[in-house]
Amino acid sequence: MERQMDQEAKRLIQENFSKRFACKSQISARFYDHLFELMPDAKNLFTNDAVVQKEMFATMLATVVRSLDKPELFKSVGQKMAESHARYGVDTRGYGLASTALENALCDVVGDDISPEELAAWKGAIDRLTSLMAPPKSEDT
Ligand code: HEM
């Protein structure tokens, strides 16, 4: 069964998102810094202009946050991303590293301002997204 988030976690993320979104460029930039540190080879997969790529990543985060309480939309966003990223050859290990990279990016940029509860809520949301994006495991759907 798909992992669910409790209402309080969604509320914490959505309520604070305008503050987080104000830092979207830095968060995106730190995400890719961390990702390429953890997966140096991944850099070769990217052909988009770095500024454009960071913008698309930030827009995706906003879409994900908006869809937290719309399960059908959340699922379809995750599935679209799963399709594109399967074409790029991203595997389960890559998604684990991406989750770490995004959590670290949030800590770097807004760590002084974010509560442990909001950070934990973000971890839950990121894991939920990356588990939809990752190739399906045979025992679970
Ligand atoms: C939290 C996880 C991730 C998110 C939210 C994310 C988000 C995005 C977005 C929004 C795009 C542009 C739209 C698209 O092509 O679908 C994109 C493209 C891409 N992503 Fe990801 N991504 C994630 C993880 C990863 C990982 C782990 C890798 C590789 C190791 C990766 C490699 C790529 C590549 C190669 C592209 C295409 C870039 C290009 O054409 O230059 N992504 N990603």
- Domain membership of residue 117 as a residue range: 7-133
In a domain, 100, yes or no: yes
Q: What is the pLDDT of residue 141?
A: 47
In a domain, 80, yes or no: yes
Q: What is the pLDDT along the chain (141 residues), one digit of tens a residue?
A: 445 678 999 999 999 999 999 999 999 999 999 999 999 999 999 999 999 999 999 999 999 999 999 999 999 999 999 999 999 999 999 999 999 999 999 999 999 999 999 999 999 999 999 999 987 765 554
pTM, rounded to two decimals:
0.91
In a domain, 141, yes or no: no
- b/e map 105-114, b = 16+ CB within 10 Å: bbebbbeeeb
Tokens encoding 121 = 């809520």
Indicate whether residue 104 lines ligand 1 (CB < 6 A). no
Q: How far is the CA of 85 from the centre of ligand 1 (A)?
A: 6
CATH number at residue 121: 1.10.490.10
In a domain, 140, yes or no: no
Q: What is the total count of domains within the chain?
A: 1
Indicate whether residue 141 lines ligand 1 (CB < 6 A). no
In a domain, 18, yes or no: yes
In a domain, 85, yes or no: yes
- For residue 84, give the ligand 1 atom closest to its CA: 16
Q: How far is the CA of 42 from the centre of ligand 1 (A)?
A: 10
